[in-house]
Amino acid sequence: MKNVIFLISKDCMACESLPIYGNRYWKTSNIDELAAKGTVFKRHYTAAASTAMALSAMLSGHYPYEFNSRKIYINVQPSEFSSVFDTLQQRGYECHMIWDRTWMNSVWRFTREFGDENKTIVHNLDIAQETDNHKNGEHIVRDDALLEKTFKQIFQVLDDVDFSKKQFIWMHLPHILKGRCSWMDDMDAFDYIVGKVRGLVGDDSIFITTDHGHMNWHKGILGYGFHVYEPIVHIPLITPRIDNIQQIEYLTCNIDLPDLLTERKIIKRDYVVSETAYYAQPSRKTAIITERFKYIYNKSDNSEELYDLSWDPWELNNILLENHYDKDRKKWFVCSEHYLYPYKTEALEALERLRHIRESFWREAPWWYVLYGVVRKKFSFLKKIIQH
């Protein structure tokens, strides 16, 4: 195993952000060179559509539904499972986390899969661009001076690390680096940071990925967290060259990351699972993805979706949708008669298998916990009314 393991994840980085996954706008020479020398995972999926769940999965190697103590998104106890931090600390690695300071009040308390927290060195930086607080109608614009300050903070931390020792560095960069103004607007800046890391540790130590992607208005949806469509759950992964393989075309999942980091072991999966919530949450959506089909179960209304990703990679047509309303003709149509899809029999056979997989791990919260959640939600609502 290498003396230095450097994991770089950029929050909310969709595959379409990177040229090696098809982007035609950005130039990312450092990432492209790492991809050419390394292994690129083409069918890699996150286990969750939001940050804390996704990080818990990729650090621990367990799906969200496997966490017994996590019924909903709440503060969690540390280390329900042994994580990659635990493994590397036991092997004598000094472990660092580099991220934005705001995550200490949010992501940290919802994740807690950071090994011995007294030994893990956390670097809290001021590097995340806020995009929601528009003042006086002013729009956020690029600020190169601010971006330089962002670089300076990150590089100062990196320059202070003693790379002659056994080191595990996890640098989790924000949605948008401070100095830029929107998702994907900072991909050249991200590539520049990757270049700095290359100079410090060498190409054979660097792993690049994300926690989840985002919709970016696909299907008319802006963000992430509430859906399990491809732009959110299909994520990039670039590693040093493993087993002399340049591209992995089969299914892999971010719960495999501990094995990749510590053993450089690739796990081929027959299917992967990705979810939006823990098992007690009524808004939970679950996707089960195979090489060809994706099945989505919506807990809130017991509805189902099925997509043939080979035929319809953009998930435009739910095979299970019987009727569709045409806004122009102001008329309902039976979908199977107006949408060319010649594999309905195969799709329905796959549906039965996918339903069986979901049932194999599905569980519901006890009635008293559901009641507690309803009461808690109503009390929170009343509290806000009283405060205002």
Read off the CATH number of the domain in which 129 is found: 3.40.720.10
The reply to whether 281 falls in a domain is no
Place of tokens 């990705």: 274
Instruction: Give 234's pLDDT tier (boundaries 50, 70, 90).
Output: very high
Whether residue 117 is found in the same domain as residue 197: yes
The reply to whether 283 falls in a domain is no
Whether residue 250 is found in the same domain as residue 299: no
If one compares 337 and 384, the residue with the highest pLDDT of the two is: 337
> What is the average per-residue pLDDT within 262-270?
96
The 10s digit of each residue's pLDDT in 16-75 is 999 999 988 889 999 999 999 999 999 999 999 999 999 999 999 999 999 988 888 888
Q: Determine the pLDDT at residue 333.
A: 79
The 10s digit of each residue's pLDDT in 149-161 is 999 999 999 999 9
Answer yes or no: are the C-beta atoms of 258 and 240 closer than 8 Å: no
The reply to whether 141 falls in a domain is yes
In the chain, pLDDT over 90 holds for what percent of residues? 79
The reply to whether 116 falls in a domain is yes
Instruction: Give 245's pLDDT tier (boundaries 50, 70, 90).
Output: very high
Q: Is 352 helix (H, G, I), strand (E, B) or coil?
A: helix
> What is the average per-residue pLDDT within 236-258?
97
Q: C-alpha 142: how far from its chain's center?
A: 26
The reply to whether 186 falls in a domain is yes
Q: Determine the pLDDT at residue 73.
A: 81
Compute the distance between CA of residue 138 and CA of residue 327 in angstroms, rounded to an integer: 36
Q: Which of 246, 275, 304 is the last residue of a domain?
A: 275
Instruction: Give 382's pLDDT tier (boundaries 50, 70, 90).
Output: low
Whether residue 51 is found in the same domain as residue 156: yes
Burial class of 181 by CB neighbour count within 10 A (0 to 12, 13 to 18, 19+):
middle
Answer yes or no: are the C-beta atoms of 119 and 85 closer than 8 Å: no
Q: Which of 230, 249, 275 is the last residue of a domain?
A: 275
Compute the distance between CA of residue 236 and CA of residue 16 in angstroms, rounded to an integer: 9
Half-sphere exposure of 132 (CA within 13 A, CB side): 3
When mean pLDDT is compared across 201-215, 280-294, 331-345, the lowest value belongs to: 331-345
The secondary structure of residue 234, as a DSSP letter, is B
> What is the average per-residue pLDDT within 270-281?
96
DSSP string, 88-151: HHHTT-EEEEEEEGGGGGTHHHHH--SSSTTTSEEEEE--BPP-S---TTPPP---HHHHHHHH
Whether residue 252 is found in the same domain as residue 165: yes
If one compares 209 and 132, the residue with the highest pLDDT of the two is: 209
Strand partners, 323: 334
* Parent domain of 296: 290-387
Whether residue 313 is found in the same domain as residue 255: no
The 10s digit of each residue's pLDDT in 332-359 is 877 766 678 899 999 999 999 999 999 9
Mark residue 244 as left, alpha or beta (left: phi above 0; alpha: psi -120 to 50; beta: remaining): left
Mean pLDDT of the chain: 92
Instruction: Give 269's pLDDT tier (boundaries 50, 70, 90).
Output: very high
Q: Which of 227, 242, 275 is the last residue of a domain?
A: 275
Compute CA distances 155 → 2, 96, 166, 192, 195, whole Å. Answer: 22, 14, 19, 11, 11
Q: Determine the pLDDT at residue 10.
A: 98
The reply to whether 282 falls in a domain is no
pTM score: 0.92
Q: Determine the pLDDT at residue 69.
A: 87
Whether residue 294 is found in the same domain as residue 259: no
Say yes or no to pLDDT of 381 above 60.
no
Compute the distance between CA of residue 13 and CA of residue 102 in angstroms, rounded to an integer: 18
Instruction: Give 294's pLDDT tier (boundaries 50, 70, 90).
Output: very high
Whether residue 237 is found in the same domain as residue 358: no
The reply to whether 132 falls in a domain is yes
Which ranges in 161-209 belong to alpha helices (H)? Answer: 187-201
Say yes or no to pLDDT of 375 above 70.
no
When mean pLDDT is compared across 85-89, 192-196, 364-368, the lowest value belongs to: 364-368
When mean pLDDT is compared across 6-20, 169-183, 236-250, 363-377, the lowest value belongs to: 363-377
Overall domain count for the chain: 2
Answer yes or no: are the C-beta atoms of 220 and 229 closer than 8 Å: no
